[in-house]
Copies of this chain bind each other. A is one copy, B any other.
């Protein structure tokens, strides 16, 4: 296979973007990536678009065909890739194959979602829940937050872990997000809470009391509270790929994709032997490490899929950064902060950067590119040379992992 490089990246602001529709977002980040790769005068072979619910949320099923025309890349092939909240990772994987095969030379991958305009209560959560098992789960009323609550209970119980350790994941990601101009939330919530306590805005003596106050931080899916859960966001992100041996033509600091993995697990959650073990992630991250000839210890920075705080903890274990049951504690000990043993989610993660479903897997890679290029500003992980992602589809039943390195 041919080696593949990332030569350009794009990333809109994530958040509640009232004045922009889905196409506006896809176009904005695509053009950023094309400009960033200095390829605006070149012919593209293919465009991949990741969007989980463009039909349900935006009444658009032809987003790839629409985008390729709007950004003037006709007659490039255009496909729409769906893998739930891991659609972005799957789109990058398929674009990677297209170049690795030798059949494509210049490929744009853009993911995006426009969700915040939906005002029908529960509509978004219900639409996302259509990725669960239809007859065994969905029709009985489960949702992704409800699964995350179950997983949290199982994890706290099995590993004698504390809910406060999960708080520390959210606090860290908000701290990082405050340093990311594209993040949905740019507020250091620890500083905010300290200031509220100091000003006597509630009956709290410390942050733990603040966080356990169910009025200030309500239960969403027991025991998960508001601060443990990512928002609903609008946004888009893009990468431009080409063969590694052509990358220097377009870009001074190309980043190589050296590992790609994707694996599936049982669709029905109760069929898994142990809900706290993500088999699919163990398998797909091993595929990525093996392809790149790396081990977890070699990785300088990771972008994980913290749609719920518990997921970052479990993922950091199943990707090999920590032993099983030690991920949440490691976060509480500061090991995953920028400057820590293995910085996780310097971007702010899904919690603070936001989670426009189809954009997320691509935004993770964009963040790693910025980190590896040394362009991550105040949230830079010093000297980062390699990074890996976990992009989580379904509830752990279809996971994509992308490993990138400096060239």
Chain A interface residues toward B at CB < 8 A: 1-2, 23, 46, 52-53, 55-56, 58-62, 64-66, 68-70, 73-84, 90, 93-94, 97-98, 100-104, 127, 130-134, 138, 260, 262-268, 279-280, 283-284, 393-394, 397-398, 400
**How distant is A52 from chain B, measured CB to nearest CB, in Å?**
7
Residues in B with CB closer than 8 Å to A94 are 79, 94, 97-98
Q: Which residue of B lies closest to A73 (CB)?
A: B264
Q: Which of B55, B65, B130, B260 contacts A264 (CB 8 A)?
A: B65
**How distant is A22 from chain B, measured CB to nearest CB, in Å?**
9
Residues in B with CB closer than 8 Å to A79 are 81-83, 90, 93-94, 262
User: Is B397 in contact with A69, judged by CB distance below 8 angstroms?
Assistant: yes
User: Is A75 in contact with B264, judged by CB distance below 8 angstroms?
Assistant: yes
User: Is A398 in contact with B64, judged by CB distance below 8 angstroms?
Assistant: yes
Q: A61-B52, A62-B131, A66-B267 are in contact. Are A80 and B77 (CB under 8 A)?
A: no
**How distant is A338 from chain B, measured CB to nearest CB, in Å?**
32
Majority DSSP secondary structure for residues of A touching B: mixed
User: Is A80 in contact with B82, judged by CB distance below 8 angstroms?
Assistant: yes
**How distant is A394 from chain B, measured CB to nearest CB, in Å?**
5
Of the A-B pairs whose beta carbons lie under 8 Å apart in the complex, a sample of 15, sorted by A's number, is A59-B134, A62-B267, A65-B264, A65-B393, A66-B134, A69-B266, A75-B265, A77-B90, A77-B284, A77-B400, A79-B90, A80-B81, A94-B97, A94-B98, A100-B101
User: Is A130 in contact with B55, judged by CB distance below 8 angstroms?
Assistant: yes
**How distant is A277 from chain B, measured CB to nearest CB, in Å?**
13
**How distant is A102 from chain B, measured CB to nearest CB, in Å?**
5
**How distant is A44 from chain B, measured CB to nearest CB, in Å?**
10
Q: A69-B397, A93-B77 are in contact. Are A62 and B265 (CB under 8 A)?
A: no
Q: A53-B55, A61-B130 are in contact. Are A267 and B80 (CB under 8 A)?
A: no
Q: Which of B75, B130, B393 contacts A60 (CB 8 A)?
A: B130
User: Is B65 in contact with A84, judged by CB distance below 8 angstroms?
Assistant: yes
For the complex, what is the distance from the CA of A177 to the CA of B406, rounded to whole Å? 56
Q: Which residue of B lies closest to A56 (CB)?
A: B55
Residues in B with CB closer than 8 Å to A268 are 69
Residues in B with CB closer than 8 Å to A64 are 82-83, 398
For the complex, what is the distance from the CA of A304 to the CA of B158, rounded to whole Å? 58
